[in-house]
Amino acid sequence: MNKFVISAALIVISATAQAQSRLENITSSKTLKVCTTGDYKPYSFLRPEGGYEGIDIAMAESLASSLDAKVEWVPTTWKTLTPDFLAKQCDIALGGVSVTLKRQLTAWFAQPLGNDGKIPLVRCEDKARYQTIKQLNQPAVRLIEPAGGTNEAFVHSHLPAASLTLFHDNVTIFQQLVDKKADVMITDASEAQYQAKRYPQLCAVNPDRPMQYGEKGYMLPQNDIGWKLYVDQWLHLSVATGEYAKIVTQWLGKA
């Protein structure tokens, strides 16, 4: 095959990839399909009366607005996030999603928006008892986590000796700690700090020194470079103009 045939083939492949880009589909359909769990404040929460709210919900609406489109919310769970993202052909998945190599096998991520590692959320009276992995990894320690997702994965990997209960609801799970039905919830520092403000009995343990490094990001379909470049540039401008910081401040009180 000569170089002219190779060049022509590459042009055809490139044109096909561009024609199949989510970017073109979204601007044509005026619809942005967003997968989200709706159970993870301050990022994504489905209100009992209906409608989503949160940091990433506001960001999704901003992204849709930049494309002159409307959001179509696609409900999912942490346990089914990746298969739902693929099967339901979401354009983006967000709502406090952690960047992991396992997820990277089947999806791309937009540029991360910051670090957010795992820490314990405990009753304030017990804060000194749960400072380290060694203190936590004991049979007498009652851990509670939502099923699926990176919190459960962390527990299985780092705290196998502790007693683990998987809870069905990531919204009311914090009351289990307050009511002393569990001792510790391992979660991201941002969620622990947010919930500690709403439950005075609970404290985030060492939020500035997480037990595991982590990043939050937005999941995107693989092999669609045009869509990824657009989302990355939109994120860059959102941060540079202060839009993202303003949204974060509304929920956390600081950027």
**Is the pLDDT score of 162 beyond 90?**
yes
> What are the residues whose beta carbons fall under 8 Å from the beta carbon of 171, sequence distance 6 or more?
39, 41, 45
**Is the pLDDT score of 161 beyond 90?**
yes
Provide the pLDDT for residue 246.
96
Q: Are 110 and 238 in contact (CB under 8 A)?
A: no
**Is the pLDDT score of 122 beyond 50?**
yes
Provide the pLDDT for residue 188.
93
Q: Mean pLDDT, to the nearest integer, of 27-55? A: 96
pTM for this one? 0.81
Q: Are 89 and 25 in contact (CB under 8 A)?
A: no
Provide the pLDDT for residue 113.
86
Q: Mean pLDDT, to the nearest integer, of 71-76? A: 98
Segments making up each domain of the chain, as ranges: 22-113+217-252, 117-213
Least confident span in 3-17, 23-37, 72-86, 105-119:
3-17
The DSSP bridge pattern shows strands 31-36 and 70-75 to be parallel
Provide the pLDDT for residue 3.
47
* C-alpha span between 92 and 110 (Å, rounded): 9
**Is the pLDDT score of 12 beyond 80?**
no
**Percentage of the chain with pLDDT > 70?**
92
Instruction: Find the radius of gyration of the CA atoms of the chain.
Output: 20
Confidence of residue 254 (pLDDT cuts 50, 70, 90): low
Provide the pLDDT for residue 115.
86
Q: Does domain 22-113+217-252 have CATH number 3.40.50.300?
A: no
Confidence of residue 8 (pLDDT cuts 50, 70, 90): very low
**Is the pLDDT score of 20 beyond 90?**
no
**Is the pLDDT score of 221 beyond 80?**
yes
Within this chain, domains 22-113+217-252 and 117-213 share the same CATH topology: yes
Average pLDDT of the chain is 91
Assigned CATH for 117-213: 3.40.190.10
Give CA angle at 146 (116, 159), nearest 5°. Answer: 70
Provide the pLDDT for residue 14.
44
pLDDT higher at 97 or 252: 97
Provide the pLDDT for residue 169.
87
Q: Which residue has the tokens 């159970």?
A: 39
* C-alpha span between 213 and 139 (Å, rounded): 25
Provide the pLDDT for residue 16.
41
Confidence of residue 225 (pLDDT cuts 50, 70, 90): very high
